[in-house]
Chains A and B, each alone.
Chain A
């Protein structure tokens, strides 16, 4: 309460002001300031006071006096008569009651209320007790995140109901400000609505400022990826007593950018030993034009090759336009339109051999086309996407000639080109238009770094009868993954993650026209581990099951897994039966163990069909 400090130099006016403040703060009956001159010329100051006390009270009320004028301290002038004094007191009390009625109730919950009533029950209301109450009330507000709340006054003190006046920190204005690199205020490119919709409800005019809401606003705005620096700061509103102005300061990122990245991929080589897929690096060149029209629309282009030094071998490009806030910036519905032109070239796992069949002439599937879809984000993780794809698919052999049938190695050793047909039209070139939909319900979260929860994905491709041979098909996949936490653990930084059991199932089926490049394949790092992609077979309907148990070990985890893939007898329902032609089993299981080392998973998987095992290094997550 005393602002004077030892060692400070004060003027007489300052000392007088200090005395006045102490006298008028209402906590003290009497304040005396005694100065004693010391031999060394300094002054020793003694502040003696008599604490104000009031009658015992058993009721407590808390009111929010934010945005109201401060109540003036009760002052009894000396030259009033006794009657005038009483009248004055009464009118003060009336004024105060009116003030109380005008004020808003405060947010304090029942529990804190009763706590304070208990404090009051300890005896006469003293200044010290009021301090206690003030600290308790402020603690509640600050713990809940209302960092700008303050107790400004206590009223009604000589009655049996103590009134506590709180300024909670009501927001009077939210200001969004753009700054340039040097911190000067400037015009922003981003439309204000884009930022406003990311603010939580609590951070609006009329609500009480909460620091957690401020932090959430920061996170939300950050996820737009439009700004290099974001600040959310409350400051007192000078024009409105007790009001808070929330200032959001934003530094925008560069709108245009270009990037080149290279990578080498590590794959299992001879004997399962990890080797570089190739000495030549692959990589991507990309450019981005972001935040078009200030509405977070973007145009992205990228060209990817697996061999920078000879790019025509394998070149994929993609040009994409992303248009968020499809229903309008002010509409809370979060739908984004994406249109892209793409092409890609992949080795077809349908035309690969089973174990022991090494020389299966490979087939490359080139896809080029346009797709457009709308994604509705329900939460950060769950979403629903629907759209249309129009593409041309060309199947080629190793020498890039268009190939309409797979090749077969005859028992005589020769090669015959009458293997299973590669396309629906039988010519090696298919064109088709189909509709696509995907709904993902993802309730996973991280518990000390381990992923826990469940994820379900349903995907549908519906042929519309437009294209080569008028394809009509309904291709559907349902994937369900459960990450089951096996032990309750305390959540917190540095605490160990729980052991997790992962159960995973994937069913795929197709009714109608099924070209072989769209057949489901079994085997591979995301299908059945321990087998090459497509090594188990290609079929019309498949079922994959996997279970994995993860045990935390020191700062990482080790795991054991078992997986199974089955064609449900539908291999023969793919035209030409490529599973049988290339002597694959149609079903297979595998099991193994592994450990997560940083970003890499090292695992040893045994292929149950051939009984051999191999060591693999993989990036990313299996599920």
Chain B
């Protein structure tokens, strides 16, 4: 309650960071914002989640165009989620940066609780599931992260998710081209997402999770127009914002994080409708047979002649 009032009274800052992008990038971004406003969307809430140390906060800063969230290479990040909000010509962009939900080899339940509480009554339009492009292995920990995310929002969140791979300016190993490496890495990670989010064959066909590439380092290469580019030649900032826009405009509904979602399905209600059936079953197939067997025991009892 308090948070909402606070937000209402707080003036949302102007998205001044756009200014520092190269003009080519700026134009593309404004065009995408225009597309959103056309479809009557003047607000977009993006949630960034993933393991620790993959580059979530850096990505947020890159998109916003300023150092909105503190980043430090070796220190563990802030323990609480932060929402960065910027406004531009009537359009509000909210990006929520979260702490990594993995600690000491296990999913950190407390971090999840803190995130749940922060997100109460907010609506998530897009989920950025962040991991590094320049890693070669996936393990059970990744699966657990996906499971944890699914347990908070339900499987529906994956209809509005983007797999974001950071450190995209990577030299692939000798035997592979950049595109081959990218495809292998994203395939491996998507498989983990399918497993952890319990996708059945139908889901895998219907839900395609787009992949986004990000390079947050200052040493990122630039093209002629001064845009930051990746080894495959694409300017990644407008590309990722375009992907975000596409996902934001899909048909599926945004996820409203209400108390019910946080609490999960009420186990008390599950199966309540079946109680009369269960009661009937217990009466006819348990109580009555046992009564019959007892009566039979009484009859069969060996009684002396005089009894």
Contact = CB atoms under 8 A, between A and B. Distances in A.
Interface of A: 144-145, 200-202, 210, 212-213, 216, 378-379, 382, 384, 411, 437, 439, 441, 443, 456, 458, 460, 462, 472-474, 476, 478, 511-514, 540, 572-575, 580
B180 interface: no
Contact of A439 (B278, B279, B290): B290
Which 7 A/B pairs are nearest by Cβ-Cβ distance? A573-B267, A202-B306, A210-B306, A511-B271, A513-B268, A213-B306, A382-B294
Nearest to A212: B306
Contacts of A213: 306-307
Contacts of A473: 268, 275
Nearest to A214: B306
B306 A511 contact: no
Interface string B118-134: 00000000000000000
Instruction: Specify the main secondary structure of chain A where it touches its partner.
Output: mixed
Contacts of A572: 267
Nearest to A473: B275
A575 B268 contact: yes
Interface in B258-307: 266-268, 270-272, 274-275, 278-279, 282, 286-287, 290-291, 293-295, 297-298, 301, 304-307
Contact of A200 (B110, B272, B297, B307): B307
A474 B294 contact: no
A514 B267 CA distance: 9
B280 to A, nearest CB: 11
Given A144-B306, A202-B307, A411-B110, 20 more contacts: A200-B307, A201-B307, A212-B304, A212-B306, A216-B307, A378-B294, A378-B297, A382-B297, A439-B290, A441-B294, A473-B268, A474-B278, A474-B279, A511-B270, A511-B272, A511-B274, A512-B275, A514-B267, A573-B270, A575-B268
Contact of B272 (A378, A472, A478): A472
B287 A145 contact: no
Given A458-B287, A458-B290, A540 B272 contact: no
A472 B270 CA distance: 12
B290 A460 contact: no
Nearest to A418: B113
Contacts of A411: 110
A420 B267 CA distance: 14
Contacts of B279: 462, 474
A512 B268 contact: yes
Nearest to A424: B268
Contact of A379 (B270, B275, B294): B294
Nearest to A574: B267
Contacts, number: 80
Nearest to B264: A572
30 contacts: A144-B306, A145-B306, A200-B307, A201-B307, A212-B306, A213-B307, A216-B307, A378-B298, A379-B297, A379-B301, A437-B287, A441-B293, A441-B294, A443-B297, A458-B282, A458-B286, A458-B287, A458-B290, A462-B279, A472-B275, A474-B278, A476-B282, A511-B270, A511-B272, A512-B271, A513-B268, A540-B267, A574-B267, A575-B267, A580-B109
Nearest to B274: A511
Interface of B: 109-110, 266-268, 270-272, 274-275, 278-279, 282, 286-287, 290-291, 293-295, 297-298, 301, 304-307
**Secondary structure type dominating chain B contacts:** helix
A439 B297 CA distance: 14
A397 B110 CA distance: 25
Contacts of A513: 268, 272
A512 B277 CA distance: 13
Given A212-B304, A378-B295, A411-B110, A456 B290 contact: yes
Contacts of B270: 511, 573
A514 B272 CA distance: 11
Contacts of A437: 287
Nearest to B272: A512
A335 to B, nearest CB: 13
A512 B274 CA distance: 9
Contacts of A540: 267
B275 A439 contact: no
A572 B268 CA distance: 11
Contacts of B266: 575
B290 A441 contact: yes
B298 A379 contact: yes
B62 to A, nearest CB: 33
Contacts of A573: 267, 270
A56 B12 CA distance: 131
Contacts of B293: 441
Contacts of A511: 270-272, 274-275, 278
Contacts of A462: 275, 279
Contacts of B274: 511
A474 B283 CA distance: 12
Nearest to B267: A573
Given A384-B291, A511-B272, A460 B282 contact: yes
Contacts of A460: 282, 287
| Residue in B294, B306, B307 with the greatest tally of chain A CB atoms within 10 Å | B306
A210 B293 CA distance: 31
Contacts of B295: 378
B306 A200 contact: yes
Contacts of B291: 384, 439
A448 B145 CA distance: 61
A508 B221 CA distance: 64
